[in-house]
Every structure is written in structure tokens, then in C-alpha cells.
Structure 1
Amino acid sequence: MPLLELPNDILISILQELELPGLSVLSRTCKALEALVNNFGWADYRRRHPRPSHSLASAQTLWSSKFHVRYDTLADRSWKHSRCRTDFVARPLARPWKGKLQPVLAINDSRLVVACGTTIYFYIFVASASDEVSSVEFERAVVLSGHSGRRRDITAVTFINGLKETLLVGFQNGEIEEVVFEDDTVKLFSRDLSDLHVGGVVEHLSYDNNMLLSLSSDGLAALTNLSVSPCTSAGVELQKRSWVSHLCMQSSTPYAAYGTSSVTPLAIHSITNGGLTQTPTVVLGMKGYTTTTTPSSAVYGICRAPLAAPWGSSPEIIVSGWYDGQVRCYDLRSALRGPSVSGSHSPLLPVLYLSDPLQYEPIYSVSCGGGSSSHVAAGSARHSVVSFWDIRSPAKGWSVHAPGNDSSPVYDIILESSRLFGATQSRPFVFDFGPGVSTRTYPHIPRPERDGLKKGRNFGYYVTQYIHRPSA
């Protein structure tokens, strides 16, 4: 029977088994099959090969499925080439700030937020045509002053879902406030949970499925249900210097992960009946230490593993950045255990280690995504270095300095399919691996005589880059 005489549902089932080369060849066979691939094949391929990206979401609503696949394919190719050469655009997003600040980032489908000191900088994503990428345009800067006029630095930010676009902001004095975007204006509200962390720095905010996890530097973790009024909170005292949290409500057993400074710096607390367990459910350890030699360490970054991780796309796989310069990946379903530490349960051991052989500095930030949804990115504590690894081939990592090449930490990063947003003590920046970057894609930055930047090619700036080579 000729292929075209088969029912459409059979042909569509065949398309679902084809990868990119097969779909491409089939679409060039005849007009009937080209129409079938355009109508069904490319959309199904996108579904099977997701490339999450907040900053491109507005543009993707205008793209055809074929253009979408083409964009992702070219971006993936740039990621492969970038290990050998600078096949991406590196740009600052702002002039250097005055002083040395510790910025934090947040993102949703509409905006990128960069918060540092007392100021929040808003960048909006704009899509103007069906064959263009979203441009990143500077929208406004808002200074959040305290009620008593005292300075209070911003230390944590996260977007939450709702009828209005809302950003939660944590401060150095323990307050948490709500920034709402309404009718092209920004309004500031105090939340009922503002007094949860009074006396301590709000170190981190995590949001997932109407639940907010707030963490203070002195170790108070509070889980707040934002879907009810008034908000209800349940807390746990970690009794450790705390740095970062990660909230996951999609797991079969929802959990919160905490990064602290201690002998057991990374621990999992299960969420049951809307509250946190008071003791860790799982302690995540370091390989190669015994009960008597386990050193104190710290974890500064936690995120979910990339979707194309070899262990699957489960939310129970997490990536963490450590004080010793290692990035450790854990599978919470694993049975790989080490010796007990400080009388606790036997710690879960990593399933993968990642590191830059030339960098011994702490890892301050981690994020996952990138080409083929298989990359891990880590921001170092010095020299504005961001390191990348394809988790499917972790020995072939590479690193790059942020534009300006200063001695700053990379305090925060957000990795998407084709873009990495980051921030040093001096300014925010972006690495763009996608096609179609033009002079309109990113804000124009007036340049003073000495800004530490060297003009590169393709609308970007020169950045220093090197390949990871095994130490002798």
C-alpha cells in the first residue's frame, strides 16, 4: 500500500517515532507529507524535546512549530560549538553600579528582575514579529525605601502566580514585601508574613504551587500557604547559618532542601500535611569521608537537574553548589549511602561530581537548562567565572568570564534554553546562544572611557573562555 493511502492517524503515529533528520527528509518528499509534518510533526517533536525558556515565551506564542524547532536546533548547535570557540553573544545589561553590591535575580514569562542594594531593575521581554526572538528591554528602576526611612538592602526575590503579576521581596532586616504590577505601575504592599524573620536576614525565597518557602540567615525556615487568607505558616529551626533553599511540590513526596554551613550542609525536609518535618528526612553527603574526617562545609546554590539528565527528568534529582568548588548531583531515589555523620542517618551520596580543575573557589549559584536541556551552569565566588557542563558528557566542561572580567563573584544565574542571565557585584549580564541576535535584542549601554569591556563580534563583547582539562 502506498504511504499516502494510509489513514492520517497512522501517518501521525509514524511521525511521532521520527527524530529531526527523519522529519526533515519526510517534509521534503512531497507537498502532502510536508503539510502533515508542518501541521503535526514539528509540534510533536517540540513536545518530546522541551526547551523551557521564560524570556522567549512571548515570542514562542507567535512562532510556527517549524520555526520553533529550527531555533532550538540552531541554539543546540551553538552550545556544542561554544566549548571550542565563543559561539555566543555576551553582553552587559547595565552600566556598572556604584559600589560592590550582592544582586539577586528572578524571572517569569514577562520580566527579568535584578535587585541590588535598595533598587529593583525591571527588564521586560518584548516580541514584535513571528520570526524574531524576544528582545530584552529596560523597563524601569524602583527604589524600595523602608517605612522609617532607614536603608534596607534587598536580599531575596521571587515571582509568585496570581491574578496580578506579583514579586515577593525579602530584605536585610527580615521583612518581606509584595511588589504588584498593575496598569503599568508598581505598587508595594506588606504581607502578613513580614514578621516571620524579624531580626534575621531573609536569605532566600522559593515559590512553587502557591507555597512559599522563606529562609533566614539564622536558620528559620517557614513554609507559607499563599492560597488562603490569612496566610498560614509552619516553620522549622535549622539552627545553622543558612544560605539557600529549594522548594519542590511536584515530587511524589513534596520536599524542601536547605543549604547551610555545617558538617551536614545539605538536607531534605519532607512536606506533610502542609508543614515541614522538624528533622531532616535525608542528609546529602560528600563521598570519601568517614565519620571522623567529615569536614564542615557549606552549600550556596540548589536547583533541579536538567530535563535531559541521564537519570530522567524527575524532580527528585537536584544539583548543588558547594564551598569546596564542587557541583554535586543527587538522586533522592538512590540507595547509595555513606557512613553516618554526627549521629544522623547515613547520608545519601552524589551520583555525579562536576568541577572546573582551574577553579578552587566556592560555587555561589547553580542553574540548569541550556542546549538540549542537558546543561548545568555554576557561578564561581571569584573572577566572575561561569562554568558549564553537558550532564551527558560531564568531563567536557568549559568556563567563561562575565563581560568586564572583574574579580567579582557571580552571585546569581538563571539558565534557559538559549540564554544565561547572571549578575556580578558590578552589573547584570547575558550570554545568548540563540540565532537572530541583533542590535535591538538587548538594551543599548552608553560606554564610558573605562568600563572594562572590549567590543567583540555579532553585537557582543569579548569574554575570556577556556576548556576544562584534567589536572595532572
Structure 2
Amino acid sequence: MLDKFPADIILIIFQYLGIQSLAALAASCQDLYGLVEEYGWKSYAQRQALPHPSLFPALQSGRWTMRDLVKNEVLAGHSWNKRKYITRPLGPAWPTKYHPILAINDSYLAVGAGNAVFLYRFTPPFNGRGQSPGVVFDNMITFPRDARKDISGLFFEEDGQTLLVSFVHGALGRVAIPKRRSGSRQRHTAVKSSAIFYIREHGPPIRSLSVCRNTALTMSSLGIASLYALNSGYSSLLSETSSESVFTNPGWSGYLSIESGSGYAILGTSSRTPLVKHSILQSELSSEPDTILSPGLEDNAFPLTSVYAISGATKSYPSMLSSDQIVVSGWYHGSVTVHDLRTPPSYPENSGDLPSLRPVLKMEDPIKPTAVYSVSTAGPRIISGSAQHSVLQLFDVRASKSGWSIYLPQGRSASSPVYCCILESSRAWAATESHALVVDFGTVHERTYPPVGEREMDGKRRFGWHAPSYEHGMFR
């Protein structure tokens, strides 16, 4: 009967259908099959709005259809719930211990470690539509070696071929990703200081970098937050505006959200109020915070603590984590909190004190309640990196007892933090002091990832290294 409706009406109906209904329609007749294949699965995927940058080459090449993408996300969700995954490093262990950083776009995963950026390129599936898209090592970019000038932040700009890089010693600049010639085996590009297009060459030491639209926020270990307006064009690399606000507490992390010319910055420090919100009006960062984001302790106390990691939420996903007003943060005392800036704050009796906002959700690993060094979100799921034992924690806000943790392959060190993590629809990327790693919930082929030594291969997971997990589920 539905096939008698005009096509434009059917397309509207697609916006309200789930997977089973779309599959049933596709099986009913040839005309509806064509509409579902061309528009139905695309409509469903857009409503879910799960990030999938590493899967994009599969769609772009035509190896995957939108139905394949939806199928992959559904199967990955089942694997997440059943704790079925493949874990492996992307390459050999680094020669020394680093504090690495990750960045991702639709073409590359960038791993910053010391003075080097390791680029891994995403490829279409090697073995047809039934396999996950591939990841291959593409290039290594190195900067002049100086421990005081290690990389502290990475971000891919909109053109996809330029990296915004921050350095520990206070520099912020752009670097073009080298183009490899066809057939070339060169895998190492040494970048001289003169090849870095500096936005700022000398500034306060940078500990974190956050970018939204054409605006960048850096957070200094000295407690200085700097806001930069970035030109999107490659020819205007030195054009910037900046405003700085000096704080009395050591800085650790920052998160930036810009919408329609205004926005806010969330700053993480070490203090009794380590997580605060600063408004941004007319490209200026307010000199004083306007809201305290509290840790949500039972006695409503404000102990001396730190916030090491801050993230936003996936836009448009039909869940509580679907707004630019959601802030996810990782704390020294082991909690991951979710604050909703739309909820009414509590105003103190003393009119001179700032209003405070309690978290709407609080999660932690009760077995290993150590400091949280990194957080990332994808739809309703949250991952966080622990400060010890290479533990990656996984949560789902839709299920109150779904929390679990993975011991990532530890290399030469058994106590490494998970310094950085990125979550997408079916993969989680993480970095410890010795490796960059992937946790894949999809279908992995032997050629999906770069080859690594098989000395530590786990026979139960054919292509994965030994990475045990355990359940917890501590929601408050």
C-alpha cells in the first residue's frame, strides 16, 4: 500500500522509521527497495549522527553503501554490549616515554609524540563490503628535536591537509601535510622551523588545544587561557586576534564551543573550583568565570582537586548527549561527570560567590578509581582514559549498569596512563606513553591495520592483542 504514495511523502515517512521498518519496506517491492537504498538508510544514519571519520573512505569510494554503514554501527553496538572487540597497537613501541596527543579527520589519524607526528591514512576495505575500512601508516613528520618544544595539541583544519599544532614551549602554528608522490616509499618528512607558519611563536607554555569553527583556545600550565580567531584561508596564516585571561591556578585542560559568534570556554585547573565556564562575547574571553561546574559530591563540598580532560557531546544524536550545552569532564578523584549548561544553577547565600552547577550524571570505575586523563564521546557512549595501568573505561548513558573497562596492551610499561582517546561509531583510538592503539568493535580483516609483531597475539581474538576487560557500572 505504501508504494502507492508519492515519493516525496515516502521520504518524509522515512524520517520516522527504524531499522526493522526500513528493512521490511525494502523487502516488500522493487520500487520501495530502491527508495530505501538511496534515501532510507541515509535518513536513518543522519538521525543517529554518530561520528565515523575513519569509515568515510569506504563510503567515498563506493565500497560501502549507507546500508553498510548502518549495519556496521548496529553490529558495533552489539559488540560493545557483549564486550567483543579487537585491540592492537598501530605500530611498534616508541623509543622513549611520551605524552602523546591524537587528532582525526575523514582522511587521517594523527598521533603527536614528542617532536613527531605519525600520520595513519584511512583506506577503503581491502576485502570487499563485509570488512572494516583499512588503516595504513602514511608518513612521519618531525620537528627540530627539543624536549622543551614537544607537541601538546593537534587539530586538522577544514582543508584536511593542514595541521594546527601547539607546542609545550608556547608556540602555535600551522604545518602542511606533505603530499607523497605516487610510488614514493618516503615515509619521513623533517620539517624545519622555517616551514612552520606561526600564529604565535612565543607565548605561555601550552598544555591543551581546543578548536571550534575558526576559533582556537589554548590552556597554559601557568593558568593562562588564550583565545585566537583563525583565518580559514591558507594565505592568511598570520592573521589572528587573541585575548588572554590570567588565572592563579595551574591549568590542565580547556574546551571551546562557538555558535553564531558567541559561545563559551570551559577551563580545567587545580583548585577548589577546578571546572569553570567563561562566556565569549564579540571574540573576547571574559576575564572572570560566570559559573562553577561542581564535582557533585554528596556533601556539596569543594575539595582541592583537578580536571584533566574536557569534551563536548555529539551533536544531533537523539539522546541526552545531543547538545552543544553538554560538557563531559574527567577528574583527579576518578569521576567522569556530565554537566548540562541548560539546567538552572544553584545560587549561594553569599552574593559575592559564583553560581554552581551540579552534574546531571556521574560515572566512575569503582575497581580502579584513579585520575581520569582523557575523555571522548560518540552518541550515548563515553570513554575515558585512566591515569594508571593503561585502563580505558567505557560507559553508555542509556544503561545504568553498562560500565566496563579494558586493559590496553601496555608495552614496556605496566603503569602508563591513557593520555588521549577518541571515540567514533565503531572504533576507539587511544594513546599511552609507548603506543597508539585501536579498539575495534567492527569486522576486522588481517589487512585492516598495519602489521605488528605477533609475539603477544591472543589466540582467542585472531587479529587482536591480549586486552582483558571487566565490568563495573557505577552510575550516580
Give the alignment's TM-score, normalised by structure 2: 0.88
Residue 398 of structure 1 corresponds to 404
Task: Pick from 193, 199, 218 the counterpart of residue 200 of structure 2.
Answer: 193
Read off the aligned partner of 2:303 and give its amino acid letter: P
Give the whole-Å Cα distance in 2 for the aligned partners of 1:94 and 1:155.
Answer: 19
1:272 to 1:127, Cα distance in 2 relative to 1, 3 A: same
Report the equivalent of 2:123.
126
Q: Quick one: distance in 2 between partners of 1:192 and 1:33?
A: 53
Contact 2:157/2:164, CA 8 A, preserved across alignment: no
CA contact 2:153–2:167 (8 Å) conserved in 1: no
List per-residue Cα deviations over 1:319-345 (Å, max 9, x = no partner): 000001000100001014274799531
| Structure 1 residue 126: Cα displacement | 1.6
The 3-state SS of whatever aligns with 2:173 is: strand
**Alpha carbons of 1:265 and 1:65: their partners in 2 closer, same or farther (altered >3 Å)?**
same
Matched, 1:93 2:90: yes
Q: 1:424 Cα deviation (Å)?
A: 0.8
Q: Deviations over 1:336-361 (max 9, x none)?
A: 42747995312111101001110121
Equivalent positions of 1:198-347 (< 5 A) are: 201-227=205-231, 229-250=238-259, 253-288=262-297, 293-307=301-315, 308=317, 310-311=319-320, 313-337=322-346, 339=348, 344-347=353-356
- Please tell me the root mean square deviation across aligned C-alpha atoms, in Å: 2.4
Residues 469/68 of structure 1: CA separation in 2 closer, same or farther (3 Å cut): closer
SS for the counterpart of 2:259 is coil
Report the Cα distance in structure 2 between the residues aligned to 1:444 and 1:338, rounded to whole angstroms.
56
Corresponding residue for residue 415 of structure 1? 423
Alpha carbons 1:264, 1:341 under 8 Å: kept: no
Stretch deviating more after TM superposition (301-310 or 61-70): 301-310
Structure 2: segments with no counterpart, 5+ residues: 181-188
Quick one: which amino acid aligns to residue 73 of structure 2? D
Matched residues in 1 for 2:318 and 2:334: separation?
A: 21
Answer with 243-252 or 40-49: which moved more: 243-252
**Paired positions, count:** 452
Corresponding residue for residue 139 of structure 2:
140
1:74 partner amino acid: L
8 Å CA contact retained: 2:388, 2:418: yes
Letter in 2 for 1:18: L
Establish whether residue 157 from structure 1 lines up as the match of residue 153 from structure 2: yes
Counterpart residue number, 1:43? 42
- Note the C-alpha offset of 1:22: 0.9
CA distance in 1, matches of 2:9, 2:424: 35
On the 8 A contact 2:227/2:242 being kept in 1, the answer is yes
How has the CA–CA distance of structure 1 residues 174 and 453 changed in structure 2, closer, same or farther, with 3 Å as cutoff? farther
1:315-394 to 2 correspondences below 5 Å = 315-337=324-346, 339=348, 344-369=353-378, 373-394=379-400
Query: Partner residue of 1:31?
Result: 30
Task: Report Cα offsets for 1:149-173 as digits up to 9, x if no partner.
Answer: x443424222242546111222222
String of CA shifts for 1:286-318, please: whole Å, max 9, x gaps.
224668x52111000100134547435111101
Aligned partners of 1:342 and 1:191: how far apart in 2?
A: 44
Question: What corresponds to 2:12 in structure 1?
Answer: 13
Distance (whole Å) between structure 2 residues aligned to residue 366 and residue 251 of structure 1: 26
SS at match of 1:38: helix
Q: Secondary structure at the match of 2:41?
A: helix
Q: Is the 8 A contact 1:294 1:341 kept in 2?
A: no
Kept in 1, the 8 Å contact 2:261–2:281? The answer is: no
- Is this contact kept in 2: 1:116–1:153, CA < 8 A? no
Tell me, yes or no, if the aligned pair for 1:403 and 1:453 is still in contact at 8 Å.
no
Q: Which residue of 2 aligns with 1:67?
A: 68
Give the TM-score of the pair, scaled to structure 1. 0.89
CA separation of 1:339 and 1:380: change in aligned 2, threshold 3 A: farther
Query: 2: CA distance between counterparts of 1:376 and 1:322?
Result: 14
Name which of structure 1's ranges 350-359 and 168-177 shifts more when overlaid on structure 2.
168-177
Which residue number corresponds to residue 435 of structure 2? 427
1:331 and 1:416 map into 2 onto residues whose CA distance is 22
| CA contact 2:112–2:118 (8 Å) conserved in 1 | yes
Please say if residues 422 and 429 of structure 1, whose CA atoms lie closer than 8 Å, have aligned partners that are also in contact.
yes
User: Relative to structure 1, is the Cα distance of residues 164 and 272 closer, same or farther in structure 2, using a 3 angstrom cutoff?
Assistant: same
Q: What is residue 117 of structure 1 aligned with on the other side?
A: 114
Compared CA separation, residues 469 and 273, structure 1 to 2 (3 A):
closer
CA contact (8 A) 1:340 1:346 kept: no
Q: Matches of 1:162 and 1:249 in 2, distance apart?
A: 16
Q: 1:309 to 1:298 in 2, by over 3 A?
A: farther
Paired residue type of 1:136 = V
Instruction: Using the TM superposition, name which of 276-285 and 115-124 deviates more.
Output: 115-124
Matched, 1:183 2:179: yes
Distance in 1 (alpha carbons) for counterparts of 2:474 and 2:296: 19
CA distance 1:439–1:203, change in 2 (3 Å)? same
Separation (CA, whole Å) in 2 of partners of 1:134 and 1:470: 34
The aligned counterpart of 2:467 is: 463
Mark the CA change 1:281 to 1:347 in structure 2 (over 3 Å): closer, same or farther. Answer: same
Provide the C-alpha distance between the structure 1 equivalents of 2:35 and 2:308, rounded to a whole number of angstroms: 49
Q: 1:221 to 1:3 in 2, by over 3 A?
A: closer
Contact 1:268 1:282 (8 Å CA) reproduced: yes
C-alpha distance in structure 2 between counterparts of 1:398 and 1:366, whole Å: 15
Q: 1:17, 1:164 → 2: CA distance?
A: 34
CA 67–312 in structure 1, closer or farther in 2 if over 3 Å, else same: same
Moved more, 173-182 or 414-423: 173-182
Compared CA separation, residues 398 and 33, structure 1 to 2 (3 A):
same
Q: Do residues 77 (structure 1) and 85 (structure 2) align?
A: no
Q: Which of 441, 450, 458 is the aligned partner of 2:448?
A: 441
CA distance in 1, matches of 2:342, 2:464: 43
SS at match of 2:22: helix
- Structure 1 residue 139 displacement after superposition: 1.5
1:156/1:274 Cα in 2 relative to 1: closer, same or farther (>3 Å)? same
Can you list the C-alpha shifts for 1:210-263, whole angstroms capped at 9, x where unaligned?
A: 111111100111111111652121111122100111111137841111110001
